[in-house]
């Protein structure tokens, strides 16, 4: 895991080389290289590895997905969105570079990512590259991340159904987990059945991760999380804990992660890294 993270950090640094105009690359680098658990690119590399693929072939796509994640955080934090001042213990992008540059840095990352898949995936054939870019575009756009975002915003201060919350969590969070795992499998060149299995695991893992995040927003501190907490509650944002309470939330995390473990063993997928991630989410949900 630590080895994967180191490789991902090195590659993100290399791919995002600072060029003219420096200000935009500085702003992109600030958010992309701000650390974090690199969960999504790690999932991508590991999904490729467990199916016998070469992790070097998956590196551009893994980094592209991390860039998409960073993009969504930059725009999420903007004053007109969640208006957050801190992220991972550091001032948010617009606090450092100004709003205009933060908007543009997010925009630039959105198309830098597929460009990376296209230009740097040397051993992949054209069909595979197109498949990866298609999945990327769907996950990033109005059928993916943005769909989750917009319904999330519309739901502020409203009573929403469990179905609507599921829609938000599916698209705002799980879609990137699904994209990571599916892409890894696609790069490894496995059957559609296995790609679909990865999608299902991504959905459950993403849900568990999001519910855990909702739990931590209630139970954690700024020092532990590096961002202002309790804001969802303040903004009357719908969260799993707000609708179902802390107890049911923890039960659901345990249930979903148990499901993922069952699916893995059923299909003979052995991965210390997947196990570590599952263990980590569970540990944080019950901390």
Contacting positions for a copy of itself (CB under 8 A): 19-21, 23-25, 28, 71, 75, 78, 80-81, 98-101, 103-104, 106-108, 110-112, 114-115, 118-119, 126-127, 129-130, 133-134, 136-138, 140-143, 146-147, 149-151, 153-154
Distance CA 215, CA 240 (A): 8
Q: List, as one string, the DSSP characters of 40-100.
A: HHHHHHHHHHHTT--HHHHHHHHHHHHHHHHHHHHHHTSTTTT--SEETTEE-HHHHH-HH
Q: 217 CB contacts (<8 Å, ≥6 apart)?
A: 229, 230, 231, 232, 233, 239, 241
At closest approach, how far in Å is the CB of 160 from a copy of itself?
Answer: 13
At closest approach, how far in Å is the CB of 22 from a copy of itself?
Answer: 9
At closest approach, how far in Å is the CB of 28 from a copy of itself?
Answer: 7
Q: Which is nearer to a copy of itself, 134 or 224 (CB)?
A: 134
Instruction: From 71, 171, 49, select the one nearest 116 (Cα to Cα).
Output: 71
At closest approach, how far in Å is the CB of 70 from a copy of itself?
Answer: 13
Q: Which is nearer to a copy of itself, 74 or 198 (CB)?
A: 74
Total count of residues recorded for the chain: 287
Q: Where are the beta strands (DSSP E) in the chain?
A: 86-87, 90-91
| Residue linked to tokens 């659901």 | 252
At closest approach, how far in Å is the CB of 126 from a copy of itself?
Answer: 4
Q: Which is nearer to a copy of itself, 142 or 162 (CB)?
A: 142
173, 206 Cβ separation under 8 angstroms: yes
Q: Which is nearer to a copy of itself, 169 or 204 (CB)?
A: 169
At closest approach, how far in Å is the CB of 10 from a copy of itself?
Answer: 20
Q: Which is nearer to a copy of itself, 94 or 194 (CB)?
A: 94
Q: Which is nearer to a copy of itself, 85 or 99 (CB)?
A: 99
Q: Is 121 helix (H, G, I), strand (E, B) or coil?
A: coil
Give phi and psi for 218, each to the nearest 5.
Answer: -90, -35
Distance CA 254, CA 249 (A): 9
Instruction: Note the Cα 193 to chain centre separation in Å.
Output: 23
Q: Which is nearer to a copy of itself, 128 or 210 (CB)?
A: 128
At closest approach, how far in Å is the CB of 230 from a copy of itself?
Answer: 21
């Amino acid at each position: 895991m630590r080895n994967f993270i180191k490789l991902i950090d090195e590659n993100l640094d290399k791919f995002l080389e600072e060029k003219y105009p420096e200000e935009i690359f500085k702003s992109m680098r600030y958010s992309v290289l701000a650390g974090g658990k690199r969960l999504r690119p790690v999932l991508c590399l590991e999904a490729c590895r467990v199916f016998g693929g070469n992790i070097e072939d998956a590196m551009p796509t893994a980094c592209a997905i991390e860039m998409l994640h960073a993009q969504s955080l930059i725009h999420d934090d903007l004053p007109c969105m969640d208006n957050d001042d801190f992220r991972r213990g550091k001032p948010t992008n617009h606090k450092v570079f100004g709003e205009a540059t933060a908007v543009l840095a997010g925009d630039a990352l959105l198309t830098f990512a597929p460009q990376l898949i296209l230009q740097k995936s040397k051993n992949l054939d054209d069909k595979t590259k197109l498949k990866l870019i298609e999945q990327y575009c769907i996950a990033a756009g109005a059928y993916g991340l943005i769909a989750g975002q917009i319904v999330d915003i519309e739901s502020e201060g409203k009573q929403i159904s469990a179905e609507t919350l599921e829609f938000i969590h599916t698209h705002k969070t799980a879609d990137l987990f699904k994209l990571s795992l599916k892409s890894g499998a696609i790069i490894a060149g496995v059957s559609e059945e296995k790609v679909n299995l990865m999608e299902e695991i991504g959905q459950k893992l993403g849900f568990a991760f999001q519910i855990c995040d909702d739990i931590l927003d209630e139970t954690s501190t700024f020092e532990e999380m590096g961002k202002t907490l309790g804001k969802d509650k303040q903004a009357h944002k719908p969260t799993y804990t707000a609708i179902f309470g802390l107890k049911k939330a923890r039960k659901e995390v345990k249930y979903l992660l148990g499901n993922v473990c069952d699916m893995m063993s059923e299909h003979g997928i052995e991965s210390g890294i997947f196990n570590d991630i599952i263990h980590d989410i569970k540990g944080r949900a019950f901390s």
